[in-house]
Amino acid sequence: MWRRPTLKQVAEKAGVSLGMAGRVLGNYGYYSKSTKKKVLDASKAINYTPNVIARSLRTRLTRTIGVLISDITTFFWTTLVRGIQDKAGKAGFSVILCNSDEESENERLYLSTLFERNVDGLIVSPTLHNHSYLKKLARGMVPIVLVDRRVKGLRVPTIKTDNQAGAYEAVNHLIALGHDRIAIITGIAGVETSDERFAGYRKALEEKGIPFRKTLIKEGNFQKDQALAATKELLRMKRTPSAIFVCNEPMVSGCILALKESGLRIPEDIAVIGFDDPVWASYTNPPLTTVSQPSYTIGILAFDYVLAQISNIKKDRKYLEDVILKPTLVIRESCGIRLKDHEVHPAQKNP
């Protein structure tokens, strides 16, 4: 019957004390280079692996972080999680990744499961309907960092992008090109990310004196298929928009597909600008103008902030404050060049 090699066996084979073997393999305290080599060689020779459960009982740490996001298939979340994982790995932590699909029931189940597994901390992009449960976990001293969106009344740090500023810059770019019938395909109403992008859109129109038209607002709920349907609704209008601002990556792919199926050219017939800057944005024909978020940096900072809570250096006020990073407008070819003042944009002609 196979039995797990023990730390005692490592110590005996290396010719050191049990405490010294534990110190080397736990990477703490003082030991010489020669002692380290002996212990590591002995550990490798007998295929020793640390007993995580036993170690967690001693240290009260599992060295595991729970990460709960909304859609792992998107470039923004994939890159953000990579940032978390890269930083966690260097710190000796593992990551358990869960995907809510923006469904509150999924989120509640995963939060409960991660808590039961005794993860050392949580990095969460919250849905709309589990705020009270998150507050309960925080009151129970579970280290929590939010990413992408905040929860009102929950006193934990949030790492996110300035969504309103990014949307404002995107719509101003379209206005500068001569567009005054700019549609928007929004995310989920009530989700901070979506609300802030809509606020940036509206602010840009109002500052330039462009009428705010409710008919040019369509909900896509951050989903490709719903954005495709929303775009087709816009194209059925008697006077269609000359440009569309689309509020995340899956929705912009749905929008582009709808335009292609309708036989419209980008940007000759209609301009398109997206929020998020996936790798494929520069490969489309034409390349897509987007608002780029520093998602990898958000992931790195999220781990740093949750580790600060785990390590009990949260007394440093730096690790209690929100971090709002600046997005970047990446101008490519999908918005075209400035419209001539006397021209009627092709997409505005009656069908």
Looking at the chain, the domain(s) classified CATH 3.40.50.2300 span 62-161+295-327, 163-292+330-348
Residue-level pLDDT at 342? 33
pLDDT digit string, tens, across residues 258-282? 999 999 999 999 999 999 999 999 9
Task: Give the right CATH number for 62-161+295-327 from 1.10.260.40, 3.40.50.620, 3.40.50.2300, 3.40.50.1980.
Answer: 3.40.50.2300
The CA-CA-CA angle for residues 173, 179, 184, to 5°, reads 75
The answer on pLDDT for 42 being more than 70 is: yes
Question: What does pLDDT average to over the chain?
Answer: 89
Round to whole Å and give the CA distance between 244 and 253: 12
Report whether CATH 3.40.50.300 matches the domain 163-292+330-348. no
Round to whole Å and give the CA distance between 35 and 19: 12
The CA-CA-CA angle for residues 164, 103, 307, to 5°, reads 70
pLDDT digit string, tens, across residues 315-339? 566 778 899 999 999 999 999 987 6
Among 6-15, 118-127, 142-151, name the one with the lowest average pLDDT. 6-15
pLDDT digit string, tens, across residues 91-117? 989 999 999 999 999 999 999 999 888
pTM, to two decimals: 0.80
pLDDT digit string, tens, across residues 61-75? 788 999 999 999 999
Kindly indicate the confidence band of residue 307, based on its pLDDT and cuts at 50, 70 and 90: very high
The CA-CA-CA angle for residues 288, 289, 293, to 5°, reads 110
CA distances from 199 to 120, 146, 196, 272 (A): 36, 21, 5, 19
Residue-level pLDDT at 313? 53
Round to whole Å and give the CA distance between 232 and 215: 13
Residue-level pLDDT at 58? 47
